[in-house]
Amino acid sequence: MKNICVTLLVAILFCLSLNVAGNPIEQIDVQLNSDKSTFLVGEDTNFTIEITNNYSENITLTYPSSIYGDFQAIDEQDDVVYEWTLHNPGLLLIMPVTLGPNQTTSRLLSWNLTDNDGNLLSPGNYTIRSWTAPYSVSIGNTTNSSWEKYEIYSDNLSITIAENSTEENGTGNENEIPYFDSFLIISTVFIMALLIRKLNTN
């Protein structure tokens, strides 16, 4: 009986060790970062997606294209208004990315705050959801088929799109005469006065 209990305990511990070692996906951290949270309508923006291996061994993430990060913009009605890879498909080639323990790889994702139809997004609050989606994950030379096509998400990022100020839209000085235009008007009046005076003297 004692031998049976010991055998069961060893078997349980072995299964647990396989479970910990066999789920490196849980040790892959994905983060989306931006240098600010408020943007103007139509402003060029840059997000950085970072993928970190928190596992104790090398992990190889294999992707079906040169794009290994993606994000969506979701409006206040929970509608997806933009998806980055729809406009940036990348190259269709097998791309393995190997990360050592605690190693991070990053990718810059640029966006001009438009929707999927190319229209400027309206001012408001938006949620940015990003992820990485390798079609296989390997530890050393071992690949587990249960890890295939696994999407690993980052924490959501909240941004605000603000309306351009009057000055930036160029509509704040419509009733004011710029200095250069004033100079032209004064110069023209002065020249006309000289011509009229010359005609009178003749």
Domain map of the chain by residue range? 25-168
Instruction: Give pLDDT, residue 181.
Output: 66
pTM to 2 decimal places: 0.67
> At residue 126, does pLDDT exceed 70?
yes
**Nearest 5°: CA angle at 200, between 194 and 201?**
90
Question: 34-63 burial string, b = 16+ CB within 10 Å, else e?
Answer: eeeeebbbeeebebebbbbbebeeebbbbb
Q: What mean pLDDT value characterizes the chain?
A: 79
pLDDT tens readout for residues 19-72: 444 566 788 899 999 989 999 999 999 999 999 999 888 988 888 888 888 999
Instruction: Quickly tell me which residue has 């810059």 as its tokens.
Output: 108
| Per-state percent for the chain, helix, strand, coil, to nearest 5 | 30, 35, 35
Structurally, at CATH architecture level, domain 25-168 sits in Sandwich (2.60)
pLDDT tens readout for residues 75-107: 999 999 999 999 998 888 888 899 999 999 999
